[in-house]
Amino acid sequence: MAKKTTKGKGSEKKELTLPPNTHIEGAGLVESQRITDTLETNYMPYAMSVIMSRAIPEIDGFKPSHRKLLYTMHLMGLQKGKLTKSANIVGQTMRLNPHGDAAIYETMVRLSKGNQALLHSYVFSKGNFGRAYSSEMEYAASRYTEAKLDPIAEELFRDIDKDTVEFVDNYDATMKEPTLLPVTFPSVLVNNNVGIAVGMASNICSFNLEEVCETTIALMKDPDHVIGDTLKAPDFPGGGQLIYRREELDRIYETGRGSVKVRSKYTYDKKNNCIDITEIPSTTTVEAIIAKIIELVKAGKIKDIADVRNEIGLEGLQITIDLKRGVDPDRLMNRLFAMTPLEDSFACNFNILIAGVPQVLGVRQILEEWTAFRTECIRRRVYFDLSKAKQRLHLLQGLAKILLDIDKAIAIIRATEEEAEVVPNLMIGFGIDQIQAEYVAEIKLRHLNREYILKRTADIEQLEKDIADMEEILKSKSRVRRIIIDELKAVVKRHGQPRRTELVYATDIEEAVAEQAEEVPDYPCTLFFSADGYFKKITPQSLRMSAEQKLKEGDRLIQTVETTNASDLLFFTDKAAVYKTKASEFADTKASAMGDYIPSTLGFEEGENTVYMINTKDYSGYLLFVFENGKVAKVELSAYATKTNRRRLIGAYSDKSPLVAIRHIPVDTELVLVSSAGRHLILNTAMVSVKTSRSTIGVQAMTLRGTHRVTEVQDYEDGRFVKPSRYRSRAIPAAGSVLSAEDLGEQLTLDD
């Protein structure tokens, strides 16, 4: 009998005894399911939820979390008046937002004026809301801070109570919330917005409010308007200097993708010999900049800085860099721009939800979509006002008929025995409908005078004009466009502000860009590389004093290269990787020193060892890789040229067969391949075609049989063989030949 223990009420346990051979439906069954079906069933709903309900902003410029918070503050009457505790706002927002209070408050912090993350903040704040430019300045808890809506938020909710947008139930169907906010300006471009969804992301930079509105107006008047003529460039809340390149901006405006470079603003304090940085790119923080500067100073790459301090205070952001005596501040800043986040790129990705579909749009398309959205808001508002005006006119027309005989109306009411008959009797007596009769019957006794009735009926003529005007607006697209344009001009007048980000033309900083890299002293030196991975850089003077090389026991030199200090070095490893550095990164040493252990200096992975060193300045020539399976790969050295020092490149060569040797050949030459069968093949490298891929498996150069393999690669020199033609072949692959008696004797003589 099978037994199963189950819990009963309280702490009791009951044993459920099952008869033998009991069959439980579905137990032990394993169903196979295609992974694509599993993803579609389980993962796709989550992905769509993140895209549509969390991460991607809509045409009004807001994500759902932003919209729910701001609408809650609107319902709380926080547009004007006193501030309220942030905790109250967070608590009320939870009626619309199913997320926790921490997430809601974090959203509020980013929208606040105190955090300085937005060009135009929507929340007026009091208290510590942290700073967007500092990762260490944390915001205070919601119970300590206060907030209300900023004046510009009026533009988000204007006429929201006139059916301008759709409303839907909240998550528990206890109240209504708007699907979009009827914003009177293209807020989607005015404030920056970042969102990471599933499989896609959005990164919208901010633009100056006045420029956005002017561009929108210009497009409404002329659909072929050139965007760049009025929308100069992005305008970031942190200010800084934007490197202006019209071609790149035009590409962003057209496609919605691209990047712009922003650099910090600084001043030089000659009296204290220091640089004060007061504005930085919005993509970085003060702490990240200082940490990078300290790292460069410790590494010896920057030697002109005496101290760097974070001096954020009541006046705002400030990083102070104390200079050593005689340092050119502009030259130093040019180097820091190249080596630190003091100059950073903002990658634009204008991904917006349009009717529930994520789309990457250019600026023209975004403004066209916003204009269509705002046009619908205006039409709905006008239709709402028109319906109210018609209802008002209808009531006043009934009231006007009472003007003909007020005494008759009073007589009808007094003569009516039952209250329910008052309205029908008024309808019969004056020829009005039920709605008009209800309105008349509800008039207070004190208002049953000619003056009151004349004042009310005087509005009839104006209402008729207003109704005719509104009906004309609904029929005329040009009238709607004129209303939108007038509203945009009013927004600029009320909330416009000067640009914060200064524009610097790329042509004006070409000289500075050329100075970004620190000048490396170039002088002759000799490089020594050993089999165990030790490296030395020695000057000719030091070699003349002592040329005897000190090596680790059992180690030997495998490469000696005469070059200069400004050359690049590539260290290939047995893990099919290459590490890049520069000769100038290593200190000059002496022959009596052990040298630098490359795996440790360059941070090799565990068990990774060097096999070959290459020295170059212009990345000319070819790399030849010879493998045990007889294949040879020929790759241009320029394929390994990158802009980053000490960068580990994986897939430096093919790992399909063990590597025998690497050769750097400036021009084609001849090598000798030796197999385990004792065969020798003179290979002219010109016979090996050049491949573009670094990890190519190469071409078959030496034919091998059975378990034989290539064991050695030697440089060929004239006179090496008595009859070289014996070991040459007109085409590859070739098997090569075993050493002849003459060559074998020569070999033995050489060995002796």
Task: Please tell me the distance from the alpha carbon of residue 614 to that of residue 354, in angstroms, as a whole number.
Answer: 54
Two tokens at 695? 């990890």
Two tokens at 527? 């490089």
The CA-CA-CA angle for residues 377, 380, 381, to 5°, reads: 85
Two tokens at 475? 């029929």
Task: Please tell me the distance from the alpha carbon of residue 438 to that of residue 440, in angstroms, as a whole number.
Answer: 6
The rounded Cα 489 to chain-centroid distance in angstroms is 32
Please name every residue paired with 526 in a beta bridge, in sequence order, or none if there are none: 538, 562
CB 541, CB 512: distance < 8 Å = no
Please tell me what DSSP assigns to residue 584.
Answer: G
- List Cα–Cα distances, 202 to 6, 115, 444, in angstroms: 51, 21, 60
Q: Could you please report the per-residue DSSP string of 195-215?
A: EE-SS-EEEE--B-HHHHHHH
Q: Is the dihedral of CA 658, 660, 666, 672 positive or negative?
A: negative
Element (H, E) at 400: helix 363-403
Two tokens at 747? 């070999």
In sequence order, which residues have a C-beta less than 8 Å from that of residue 529 and are 6 or more positions away?
Answer: 535, 557, 558, 559, 560, 561, 610, 613
Task: Please tell me the distance from the alpha carbon of residue 455 to that of residue 437, in angstroms, as a whole number.
Answer: 19
Q: Which residues of 347-380 are buried (b: 16+ CB within 10 A; e: fewer)?
A: ebbbbbbeeeebeebbbbbbbbbbbebbbebbbb
Total count of residues recorded for the chain: 752
Helix axes 459-475, 450-457, angle to 10 degrees: 20
SS3 84: strand
The CA-CA-CA angle for residues 666, 642, 246, to 5°, reads: 125
Task: Please tell me the distance from the alpha carbon of residue 734 to that of residue 737, in angstroms, as a whole number.
Answer: 9
Two tokens at 640? 């390994």
Q: Residue 302: what residue type?
A: I
Phi, psi of 125 (to 5 degrees): -120, 155
Instruction: List the catalytic residue out of 144, 171, 505, 523.
Output: 144
- List Cα–Cα distances, 468 to 163, 382, 392, 420, 653, in angstroms: 20, 12, 14, 37, 79
Q: Is the dihedral of CA 361, 363, 368, 370 positive or negative?
A: positive
268 counts as catalytic = no
Two tokens at 207? 């633009």
> Burial level of 81, CB count in 10 A (0-12/13-18/19+)?
exposed
Q: If DSSP states are collapsed to H, E and C, what string results for 143-181?
A: CCCEEEECHHHHHHHCCHHHCCCCEEECCCCCCEEECCC
In sequence order, which residues have a C-beta less than 8 Å from that of residue 700 and are 6 or more positions away?
Answer: 630, 631, 732, 733
Strands 622-627 and 659-665: antiparallel
Task: Please tell me the distance from the alpha carbon of residue 283 to that of residue 237, in angstroms, as a whole number.
Answer: 11
Phi, psi of 735 (to 5 degrees): -85, -20
Task: Please tell me the distance from the alpha carbon of residue 129 to that of residue 132, in angstroms, as a whole number.
Answer: 9
- List Cα–Cα distances, 131 to 126, 150, 263, 557, in angstroms: 13, 18, 19, 56
Question: Which residues does the annotation mark as catalytic?
Answer: 144
